[in-house]
Chains A and B, each alone.
Chain A
Amino acid sequence: SDLLWSRVNKTSLKLAERSISVEFSGGAELLFGNVKKHRIRLPARETAWNLGSLLIWLRDNLLRERPELFVQGETVRPGILVLINDTDWELLGQTQYELADEDTIVFISTLHGG
Chain B
Amino acid sequence: NLTLLSVGEGITGYRDDSLETVKRNEVQYGLPLRIVSYKELYGWTMDEIVREVGRKNNCTFCGVFRRQALDRGAALEKVDRIVTGHNADDIAETVVMNILRGDVARLQRCTAVTTSGGETIPRSKPFKYTYEKEIVMYAYFKKLDYFSTECIYSPNAYRGHARAFLKDLESIRSTSIIDIIHSGDSLAFRKNVKFPTLGTCSQCGYISSQTLCKACVLLQGLNKGLPRLAVGKTNTSK
A–B complex contacts, Cβ < 8 Å, 9 sampled: A25-B140, A81-B136, A111-B163, A111-B164, A111-B167, A112-B151, A112-B154, A113-B157, A113-B163
Which of A62-114 touch B at CB < 8 Å? 77-79, 81, 83, 86, 88, 106, 108-114
Pairwise interchain contact B171-A112, C-beta atoms closer than 8 A: no
Q: Is the interface of A mostly helix, strand, loop or mixed?
A: loop
User: Given the interface contacts A78-B167, A78-B168, A79-B167, does A112 sit within 8 Å of B136 by beta carbon?
Assistant: no
Q: What 1/0 mask marks residues of chain A from 6 to 49 whose CB sits below 8 Å from any chain B CB?
A: 00000000000000000001110000000000000000000000
A111 vs B154: C-alpha distance when bound (angstroms): 11
Q: Does B125 contact A (CB under 8 A)?
A: no
Establish whether residues B150 and A27, one from each chain, have CB atoms under 8 Å apart when the complex forms.
yes
CB distance from B62 to the nearest CB of A (A): 9
**Which residue of chain B is the closest to A25 with respect to CB atoms?**
B148
- Looking across the interface, which residue of chain B has its beta carbon closest to that of A88? B137
Residues of B participating in the A interface, judged by any CB pair closer than 8 Å? 14, 89, 132-133, 136-137, 140-141, 148-151, 154-155, 157, 159-160, 163-164, 167-168, 170-171
Sort A-B residue pairs by CB-CB distance and give the 9 closest, nearest first.
A114-B151, A113-B154, A78-B167, A112-B150, A79-B167, A78-B171, A26-B148, A114-B154, A110-B132
CB B163 to nearest CB in A, in angstroms, measures 7
Smallest Cβ distance from B232 to chain A, in angstroms? 19
- Contact pick for A113, options B89, B140, B150, B167, CB 8 Å: B150
Bound-complex Cα distance A111 to B163 (A): 8
Complex contacts, A106 vs chain B, CB 8 Å: 140
Which residues on A sit within 8 Å (CB–CB) of B148?
25-27, 109, 112
Chain B residues in 8 Å Cβ range of A79: 163-164, 167
Could you tell me the distance in whole angstroms from the C-beta of A111 to the nearest C-beta in chain B? 7
8 Å CB contact of A110 from B136, B149, B157, B171: B136
